[in-house]
Amino acid sequence: MLITREMDYAVRVVRALKDGTKVSASGVAKKEHLPQAITYKVLNSLLKSKLIGSMRGVNGGYYLKCDLANTTLYDICVALGEDMSITECVREGYDCINNRCGECILNKEFNRIQSSLNRELQTTTLDKLL
């Protein structure tokens, strides 16, 4: 897993909404200097995950539903459907020909690194970043 451009944009979208007001999609894109097409895509992913909400109409727009102190970078990754694996051999259910006996030193090290990365993402709350 890499921190994708989409994930970076998702954090920026949340930042644009953090003050509690409703903001249009074009307003979010303008405020954070994001391409409008990707902004819509990220907004839809965040809506589906219920991290943000939306209202239609003259006074409508997107707004933050999550508590930044309890929402983590890991939550953003999950909301976007990101593959969290640093390599395919750490994916659950992956049948690695080199690790069938569970003795592959690379697999053990990759799993250690993956666990550390997941822990960091799960403890980095958005209020710390924003």
Question: From the CA atom positions of the chain, what is the Rg in Å?
Answer: 18
**pTM value?**
0.86
What's the rounded Cα separation, in Å, for the pair 123 and 116? 11
Q: What is the mean pLDDT of residues 8-19?
A: 96
Which domain, by its residues, includes 50? 5-128
Query: Residue 40 is part of a domain; what is its CATH number?
Result: 1.10.10.10
How many domains does the chain fold into?
1
Confidence of residue 1 (pLDDT cuts 50, 70, 90): low
Locate tokens 């993956």: which residue?
114
pLDDT in tens, 103-120: 888 989 999 999 999 999
What are 78-102's pLDDT values in tens digits? 999 988 889 888 888 888 888 888 7
Q: What angle do CA 123, 127, 128 make, to 5 degrees?
A: 60
